[in-house]
Amino acid sequence: MRLLRSNRALPADVRAALDLPRGDRVLAAAPTRGGSHVVATARALYVPTVDGLTRVPWEQVDQASWKDGWLHVHETMGGPEHHVRLTEPGSVPETVRERVTSTVAVSHHAELPNGGGVRIAGRRAPGGGEVRWTFVFDPGLDPKDPGLRAQAEQVLEDLRRQTGL
């Protein structure tokens, strides 16, 4: 499937379900095994769920990967994961990678004083705006532990001073 210049190449039901915000545009789309579509726009990824198409802004995609015909998308801050089988992926995997990468202003892994570590990412929505910070703690660490959060917040403050963000 070639890069889409508009959403006219999409089936009418998918086009209607998108309801794109003003100024957004379709960059790539691919049919899924379930008969729906994954749609990558300039501002978000639309993935099929039981409720229809779910909009995931690029800055809220923590990780995305492509393996054996499956697109795997993990949202930030413990949000949902999406696993979608694409029948004709076209340029969707490359578009997803490029769009997610473009939102990362800074990514830093730090060791915490009491052991373990945290990955701190500063992400910015396409087109600019404020940097949104997220913490991803190493496996085995409780992200709800207030002491651990305080340590991570201190690392974040140091990182913000160093980067000017």
Q: What is the pLDDT along the chain (165 residues), one digit of tens a residue?
A: 344 444 447 888 888 878 888 889 999 999 998 888 999 999 999 999 888 889 999 999 988 999 999 999 999 877 899 999 999 999 999 999 999 999 999 999 999 987 899 999 999 988 878 899 989 899 999 988 999 999 999 999 999 999 998
**Does the model's pTM come out above 0.75?**
yes
115 within domain boundaries: yes
Does 95 share its domain with 129? Answer: no
Does 44 share its domain with 123? Answer: no
| Spatial separation of the C-alpha atoms in residues 74 and 80, rounded to whole Å | 6
Domain boundary at 86, 102, 118, which? 102
CATH number at 69 reads 2.30.29.30
Does 94 share its domain with 18? Answer: yes
65 within domain boundaries: yes
| Spatial separation of the C-alpha atoms in residues 49 and 92, rounded to whole Å | 18
Domain boundary at 58, 74, 102, which? 102
Does 17 share its domain with 94? Answer: yes
| Spatial separation of the C-alpha atoms in residues 39 and 99, rounded to whole Å | 12
22 within domain boundaries: yes
Does 96 share its domain with 110? Answer: no
Query: Which pLDDT score, from 0 to 100, does residue 11 have?
Result: 81
Query: Which pLDDT score, from 0 to 100, does residue 4 have?
Result: 47
Does 98 share its domain with 111? Answer: no
Query: Which pLDDT score, from 0 to 100, does residue 26 have?
Result: 92
What is the total count of domains within the chain?
A: 2
Does 81 share its domain with 129? Answer: no
- Domain containing 49 equals 12-102
84 within domain boundaries: yes
4 within domain boundaries: no
Query: Which pLDDT score, from 0 to 100, does residue 119 have?
Result: 93
- Please tell me whether residue 90 adopts helix, strand or coil conformation: coil
Query: Which pLDDT score, from 0 to 100, does residue 41 have?
Result: 95
- Please tell me whether residue 160 adopts helix, strand or coil conformation: helix
